[in-house]
Amino acid sequence: MKPAIHTLRGDDGMVLKASTLGGIVTELLVPDRTGKPGNVVLSLPDARDHLANGYMNALIGRVGNRVSRGGFELDGVFYPIAKNSGKGRHTCHLHGGARGFDKHVWSAREFAGADGPSLELTTFSPDGEEGYPGNLAVRVVYTLSRSRSWRIEYWAVTDKPTVVNLTQHAYFNLSGGKRDVSDHEIAVFASRFTEVDAALLPTGRVPSVEGTALDLREPVRLGDLFARARKDPQLKLVGGGLDHNFVLDRDGSSGLEVMASFADPASGRRMFVMTTEPCMQVYSANFLAPGLKGRGGAVYGPHWACCFETQHAPDSPNQSGFPSIRLDPGRVYHSVTEYAFDVDDAD
């Protein structure tokens, strides 16, 4: 099936363009404080280019983030899964494997949703794909809501016990891609994070952010955080920026809660991340290739974006202390994340 681009147009000036290849968002237009729209995700000339550059703006599954041991055990059976990231003893499974959902060509249907124009994306992952057990049917709906937000809703069902952890790997730059995100301000409402080792895998420890560069409970200018990265052992491991899973300070409910904010003072654009998920991987594009040519003559590089990947904790199948991502027959995986936009009134 040949990939196609679908376009959603909101009543408030927002436009979303997405490819059926990996559900990749090739453009997300959001007005600035003057009302001028700008593309707030990094965009490359072709959707296929996104796959070679950090899963840019793609849907991720079956299991997002890293999985250790080359597999996992479920009901006494060890399931080996693809090792597609790292070298030598640091090799691990990442973002669904060699052919994760980012490389699927999804079936698509546009429809008028109750909250705004919507795009339904569906795919099927057969039993054994990338080593995972169970036939898995997946449905994702992108909606441009009337409250000026991009809403993502996920569902999945299986015919055999398996593991599922879906997310979206959007690379946000609220300047419209005019400059890197050093002057953006970030806040993540999380008191703890999952510590990583040299392979960027969880150690199993979930320490407090107190007294570390990962304390983002109050807004922090990203450029100041990058400057501190040289002295912070965790930030040094991940290339001098953010690439950590935060355990969110949820209020105990299962509904949508605001868990992060992102702001570009120059354009006035602000973004609020709402999710039903317990965790969020925040990645400041530390490993993006220098001189990467984007659309319209843009040139990107490290720290030109920030990703807010709502999820369960990485390596959950091998970490008994982390919440389970097991999905059984007869149960429905369901998750919602919303990226809501507005502007400040400053001159």
Tokens of 212: 């570390």
Helix (H, G, I), strand (E, B) or coil at 133: coil
CB atoms near residue 206 (< 10 Å): 17
How does DSSP assign 11-66, residue by residue?
TTS-EEEEESBTT-EEEEEEE-TTS-EEE-B---SSHHHHHTSTTTT-EE-SB-SE
Catalytic residue among 130, 185, 309, 338: 309
Q: What share of the chain is helix, strand, coil (3-state, %, to 5)?
A: 10, 40, 50
Active site residue 153: no
Cβ atoms of 343 and 176 within 8 Å: the answer is: no
One-letter amino acid at 156 equals A
Active site residue 309: yes
What is the CB-side half-sphere exposure of residue 266 using CA atoms within 13 A? Answer: 14
| CA 235 – CA 225 distance, rounded (Å) | 9
What is the CB-side half-sphere exposure of residue 193 using CA atoms within 13 A? Answer: 24
Helix (H, G, I), strand (E, B) or coil at 340: strand
How does DSSP assign 248-263, residue by residue?
E---S-SS-EEEEEEE
Catalytic residue among 50, 93, 95, 169: 169
| CA 332 – CA 129 distance, rounded (Å) | 20
Q: 72 - beta bridge partners?
A: 79
Tokens of 240: 């001098």
Helix (H, G, I), strand (E, B) or coil at 236: helix
| Residues with catalytic function | 169, 309
